[in-house]
Amino acid sequence: MLFTNPAGAPELGCNECGCRWFDRIKNECYECGWEVPKDEIKAFADALEEYYKKTGNPP
Ligand SMILES: [Zn+2]
């Protein structure tokens, strides 16, 4: 699932255990090993890009 942190930046969270720690190489949750679906990764990347456009900070 997607979260927004207090700074307004999107964060990826685990659908299974609700934590926000991911192995970005394997796209797996550190806590429970849940694998992030590809469309969720895409949604996160899009949200991140949107955020960077808004703030003017490139990725
Ligand atoms: Zn998890």
* Protein residues with C-beta less than 5 angstroms from the ion ligand 1: 14, 16-17, 29, 31-32, 34
The pLDDT of residue 52: 93
- Per residue in 15-57, pLDDT (tens digit) is 999 998 888 889 899 999 999 999 999 999 999 999 999 999 7
- Residue 59's pLDDT band (cuts 50, 70, 90): low
Ligand 1 mean position to 3 CA, how many Å? 14
Domain that holds residue 16: 2-55
End-to-end CA distance of the chain: 21
Name the CA radius of gyration of the chain, rounded. 12
Query: In the chain, what is the greatest distance between 2 CA atoms, to the nearest angstrom?
Result: 35
Residue 31 to residue 49: CA distance in whole angstroms:
27
Residue 40 to residue 32: CA distance in whole angstroms:
17
Domains in the chain, number: 1
Total-model pTM: 0.76
